[in-house]
Amino acid sequence: MGRRPQPEIAEQLLERCTDHCLEHGLPDRLEPLVRATGSSARMLLYHFGTRDQLLLAILRRARQRHLASFGDHLKSRPDEPYVVTLGRAWVAMTSPDAAPYLRMFGQLREQSERSLWPGFRRLATTDWLAPIETGVASIDRPGSATLVLAVIRGLMMDLDATGDLARADAAFHQLLRALDSGAPAPPRDVPSAQSR
């Protein structure tokens, strides 16, 4: 008789694998995940089935973390204008804490790993849309959510490609001014002249 699945062990392995992939990217072999977990390839496959199923589980866990960490930043707050909320969200989404998620999901977009999660690109776009729709409605800009999301995504891709944070910040501030002529610059702790 075979062993019964042990969800607590699978959960621990998944957490370690996700940590590793956020730091180093998605591996093309199991060995880096074996080393990161202190486990064996056999044990990883026992709990997750195949390499691709393990990578998909890692991607989904990373996406859960990403949404939990940064999703709240886009929600409208009754005590502040939404352009201020967007400015804070931009700073959080372009901070060093967000970089591992951008790298991982960028890798998924660019490589053949797309086959792991066929609907990812659509989901990764639309899951941010609802809070932005609510927020722009609060500043009397209904219908601007797609534009705001497209600018954010485009600037993040630009930032990923160039590392020019000052230029991306300046462009984002132009968006904020277009939404509200009195919008303050995004509140970045480091001088915006620095690039990543």
d(CA 58, CA 115): 14
Q: What is the pLDDT of residue 71?
A: 83
**Number of other residues whose CB lies within 10 A of the CB of residue 91:** 20
Reported pTM: 0.77
Q: What is the pLDDT of residue 195?
A: 43
Whether 191 has a pLDDT exceeding 50, the answer reads no
Q: What is the pLDDT of residues 23-76, one digit of tens each?
A: 998 898 999 999 999 999 999 999 999 998 999 999 999 999 998 888 889 999
What tokens appear for 53 in the block?
Answer: 């199923």
Residue 140, helix vs strand vs coil: coil
**Number of other residues whose CB lies within 10 A of the CB of residue 31:** 10
Residue 193 in domain: no
Residue 102, exposed/middle/buried by CB under 10 A (0-12, 13-18, 19+)? Answer: middle
Q: What residue numbers bound the domain in which 90 lies?
A: 7-179
CATH number, domain containing residue 38: 1.10.357.10
Residue 196 in domain: no
d(CA 136, CA 76): 8
d(CA 66, CA 142): 26
67 and 127 Cβ atoms separated by less than 8 Å: yes
174 and 160 Cβ atoms separated by less than 8 Å: no
Whether 2 has a pLDDT exceeding 70, the answer reads no
Q: What is the pLDDT of residue 188?
A: 81
Residue 168 in domain: yes
Q: What total number of domains does the chain contain?
A: 1
Alpha carbon 23 to chain centroid, angstroms = 13
Residue 169 in domain: yes
Residue 124 in domain: yes
Whether 15 has a pLDDT exceeding 70, the answer reads yes
Whether 167 has a pLDDT exceeding 90, the answer reads yes
Whether 1 has a pLDDT exceeding 70, the answer reads no
Residue 186 in domain: no
Q: What is the pLDDT of residues 96-148, one digit of tens each?
A: 999 899 888 877 766 644 577 777 878 878 888 999 999 999 999 989 999 99
Residue 24 in domain: yes
Residue 166 in domain: yes
d(CA 192, CA 118): 36
Q: What is the pLDDT of residue 173?
A: 94
Closest CA relative to residue 95, chosen from 119, 115, 69, 56: 69
